[in-house]
């Protein structure tokens, strides 16, 4: 809602001997963040500071369209300002109800445009695009609103390049996740946002050659932190990532031409006029605004109405421990009973169910699950012509005709949701597929989880049946290799600062098995503690979670750990960052109703002693603590006395805690 709208002439033009520069600014409501836009010799740029400290240095803005280079010979039109405010509720994200307050600035950008009129070539000065800024107390967002350069001709265009740059303040370090090289990885399923991070790395690198996925975290020396991402992407644009130009200069990049087995163009086709997705920068002196940001949802709107009320759920999942052979009728029945014993609402049945169980017996299974109060999520391959992932069911989700027939059947037999895997990358045609699947699924009342996929970009608010996406090096890698087990705590201590800040993350972890195998005696060794498993169930945010627990945990895991996992919550009203450093440790609090839960994990080599200030969380002088017994390494549950609102907790390396 635009509360008030006024426009004023704010362009200050001044001249000197060699050039004229136009400058305009917009500040956050509290005045701390200042965005400065300038036009200098026909080039457009912006910069961002916080409390007088530079976070983004002078960085280019502009577009190259197929009909004109809209990055050169530009001038500023009359700038307008608005106070922006919105209040919205999305029950599936980190904060249920959000009040968004920001200052908006619209900068019309003019250039010369040649067109034919009455048989003659005419050059006119026109508004090529507006840059719309929205600046809250912790986030800067901007997008291009591309105008029709003439009113009787161009209706369709291609965006050939975005010149949008992010020149990061000198001396910053990076926490970035490389974009995967297309058609590599399992059966050519890359890119799927499943690489790792190098913490505190130097600037000037370009990942594996193709840049980095959003969101991108930088530490601004000892002055603060900034997180760069994008939101609002749907089938009318491509998913972008970030490439390094040189040194501290980064820019928005379109997908690699080789993605999607070379099908489709990297450059998006648009109808005119149109708005691009929002580019977002979250910044502050600490990591607090980054962990707590809601910028991914603040500026998007629901695309359609929910066809029914979609509810959060917890569930189990045999595949993560038992792999493909476990996707058989008897084992799934055992897991339905296990979900019921845990009080969980769902069970996820993974790949190959169509051949190892069959459709008729699946109908029986879904009915059996229903009798136990358990809803079923079913796995599908998104393929398709975009990669070689062979797992079935295939060719059921790639085209609307077959997809809607399949979803009609799923709805008839009472399936609750789908996990759809192995997507083809970030080109516009892939983004269109995500949107089409979500829209069709809503018609049939199905919740959707994406795997082997792109980053969700505001989708929880845009599509009410969108639950979560993988887009992370997730729990399957703990089963696949010991190395990922060895660095599990390190990775887990990065996600709350990067990947999970902008979207629900389907990690599928919190195992209490000691080994990543069904016999719980062989296979990869878990290096993390049981208290860590409990903590990550709260630390990793997704309203629907299928935990890597197994029926044997009812007898071989600590009873008090299982008791906690039975009542673990996955929907939250609020999150508060308490302490931490990416890759080292993290402590945060989540609120459900009037009840706070504080969790922490430790990835540092030494046992970590922390003193947590609980004032503001209304705990009283005694709390329940699930933690590591640092002497024995065993799981412990204690009553902890809180003196002067300070709780003292110790975490092993790979350990953690839950306070409630």
Residues that bind Ca ion (CB under 5 A): 452
Give the angle subtended at the CA of 569 by the CAs of 565 and 575, to the nearest 5°: 130
Nearer Cβ to Ca ion (105/472): 472
**Shortest Å, Cβ 453 to Ca ion:** 8
Both tokens assigned to 657: 């805690």
Residue with smaller CB distance to Ca ion, 448 or 575: 448
CB of 589 to Ca ion, least distance (A): 30
Compare residues 297 and 379 and give the one whose CB is closer to Ca ion: 379
188 or 269, CB closer to Ca ion? 188
CA distance 642 to 646: 6
Shortest distance in whole angstroms from residue 474 CB to Ca ion: 6
Using DSSP bridges, classify how beta strands 595-602 and 656-659 pair: parallel, antiparallel or unpaired. antiparallel
CB of 103: closest distance to Ca ion in angstroms? 40
**Least CB distance to Ca ion at residue 651 (A):** 28
**Is 470 or 628 the residue whose CB approaches Ca ion more closely?**
470
Tokens 């803005």 found at: 61
Strands of 313-371 (E only): list them: 313-317, 346-349
For residues 257 and 160, give the distance between their C-alpha atoms in angstroms, rounded to a whole number.
12
**Dist CA 257 CA 267 (whole Å):** 9
How is residue 250 annotated by DSSP? E
Q: How far apart are CA 312 and CA 554, in angstroms?
A: 23
Provide CB contacts within 8 A for 471, sequence distance 6+: 192, 193, 194, 213, 450, 453, 454, 455, 456, 499, 503, 505
Residue nearest to Ca ion (CB): 452
> Virtual CA dihedral for 424, 429, 432, 433, nearest 10 degrees?
-40
Give 111 or 452: the residue with its C-beta nearer to Ca ion. 452
499/471 Cα distance (integer angstroms): 8
Q: How far apart are CA 320 and CA 122, in angstroms?
A: 64
Nearer to Ca ion, 186 or 329 (CB): 186
CB of 259 to Ca ion, least distance (A): 16
Minimum CB–partner distance for residue 121 and Ca ion (Å): 53
Closest CA to 384 of 403, 367, 356, 408: 403
Question: Which CB, 452 or 654, lies closer to Ca ion?
Answer: 452
Residue 560 C-beta: closest distance to Ca ion, Å: 32
346 and 414 Cβ atoms separated by less than 8 Å: no
211 or 452, CB closer to Ca ion? 452
Spatial distance between the Cα atoms of 158 and 147, rounded to a whole number of angstroms: 13
Which is closer to Ca ion, CB of 452 or CB of 656?
A: 452
Closest distance of CB 485 from Ca ion, Å: 16
- Kindly report the three-state secondary structure assignment for every residue of 222-278: CCCEEEEEEECCCCCCCCCEEEEEECCEEEEECCCCCCHHHCCCCCCEEECCEECCE
β-pair type (346-349, 313-317): parallel
Q: Shortest gap between Cβ of 477 and Ca ion (angstroms)?
A: 8
Closest-CA residue to 534 (of 628, 417, 414): 628
Nearer to Ca ion, 452 or 600 (CB): 452
Check the CA dihedral 63-84-39-229 and report its sign: negative
Query: Shortest Cβ distance from residue 192 to Ca ion (Å)?
Result: 6
Joined together, the tokens standing for residue 566 give 């039975």
């Amino acid at each position: 809602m635009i509360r008030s709208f006024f426009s004023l002439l704010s362009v200050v033009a001044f001249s000197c001997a060699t050039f004229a520069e136009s400058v305009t600014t917009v500040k956050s409501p509290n005045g701390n963040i200042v965005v400065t836009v300038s036009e200098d010799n026909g080039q457009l740029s912006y910069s961002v500071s916080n409390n007088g400290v530079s976070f983004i240095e002078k960085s280019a803005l502009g577009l190259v369209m197929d009909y004109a280079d809209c990055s050169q010979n530009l001038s500023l039109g009359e700038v307008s300002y608005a106070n922006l405010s919105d209040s919205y509720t999305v029950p599936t994200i980190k904060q249920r109800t959000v009040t968004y307050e920001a200052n908006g600035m619209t900068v019309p950008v003019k250039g010369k445009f040649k067109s034919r009129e009455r048989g003659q070539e005419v050059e006119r000065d026109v508004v090529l695009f507006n840059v719309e800024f929205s600046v809250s107390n912790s986030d800067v967002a901007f997008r291009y609103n591309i105008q029709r350069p003439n009113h009787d001709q161009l209706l369709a265009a291609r965006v050939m390049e975005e010149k949008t740059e992010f020149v990061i303040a000198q001396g910053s370090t990076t926490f970035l996740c490389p974009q995967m090289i297309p058609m590599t990885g399992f059966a050519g399923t890359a890119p799927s946002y499943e690489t790792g991070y190098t913490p505190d790395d130097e600037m000037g690198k370009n990942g594996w050659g193709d840049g980095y996925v959003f969101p991108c975290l930088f530490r601004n020396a000892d002055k603060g932190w900034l997180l760069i991402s994008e939101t609002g992407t749907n089938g009318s644009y491509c998913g972008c990532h970030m490439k390094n130009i040189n040194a501290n200069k980064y820019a928005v990049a379109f997908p690699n031409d080789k993605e999607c087995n070379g099908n489709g163009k990297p450059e998006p086709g648009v109808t005119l006029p149109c708005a691009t997705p929002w580019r977002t920068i979250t910044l502050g002196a600490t990591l607090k605004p980054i962990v707590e940001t809601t910028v991914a949802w603040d500026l998007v709107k629901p695309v359609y109405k929910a066809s029914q009320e979609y509810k959060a759920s917890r569930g189990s999942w045999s595949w993560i421990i038992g792999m493909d052979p476990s996707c058989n009728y008897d084992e799934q029945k055992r897991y339905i009973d296990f979900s019921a014993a845990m009080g969980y609402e769902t069970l996820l049945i993974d790949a190959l169910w169509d051949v190892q169980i069959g459709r008729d017996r699946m109908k029986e299974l879904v009915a059996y699950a229903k009798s136990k109060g358990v809803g079923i999520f079913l796995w599908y391959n998104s393929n398709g012509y975009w990669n070689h992932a062979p797992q079935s069911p295939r060719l059921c989700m790639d085209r609307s005709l077959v997809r809607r027939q399949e979803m009609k059947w799923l709805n008839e037999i009472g399936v609750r949701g789908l996990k759809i895997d192995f997507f083809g990358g970030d080109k516009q045609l892939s983004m269109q597929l995500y949107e089409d699947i979500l829209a069709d699924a809503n018609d049939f009342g199905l919740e959707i989880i994406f795997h082997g996929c792109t980053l969700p970009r505001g989708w929880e608010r845009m599509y009410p049946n969108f639950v979560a996406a993988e887009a992370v090096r997730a729990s399957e890698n703990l089963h696949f290799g010991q190395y990922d087990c060895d660095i599990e705590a390190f990775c887990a201590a990065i996600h709350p600062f990067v990947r999970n800040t902008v979207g629900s993350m389907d990690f599928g972890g919190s195992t209490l098995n000691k080994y990543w195998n069904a016999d719980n005696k062989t296979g990869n060794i878990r290096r993390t503690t049981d208290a860590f498993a409990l903590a990550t169930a709260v630390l990793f945010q997704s309203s629907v979670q299928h935990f890597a627990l197994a029926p044997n945990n009812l007898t071989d895991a600590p009873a008090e750990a299982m008791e906690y996992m039975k009542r673990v919550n996955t929907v939250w009203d609020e999150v508060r960052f308490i302490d931490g450093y990416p890759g080292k440790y993290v402590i945060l609090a989540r609120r459900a109703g009037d009840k706070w839960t504080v969790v922490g994990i430790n990835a540092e080599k030494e046992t970590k002693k922390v003193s947590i200030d609980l004032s503001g969380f209304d705990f009283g002088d005694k709390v329940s603590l699930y933690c590591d017994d640092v002497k024995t390494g065993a799981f412990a549950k204690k009553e902890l006395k809180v003196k002067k609102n300070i709780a003292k907790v110790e975490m092993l390396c790979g350990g953690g805690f839950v306070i409630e």
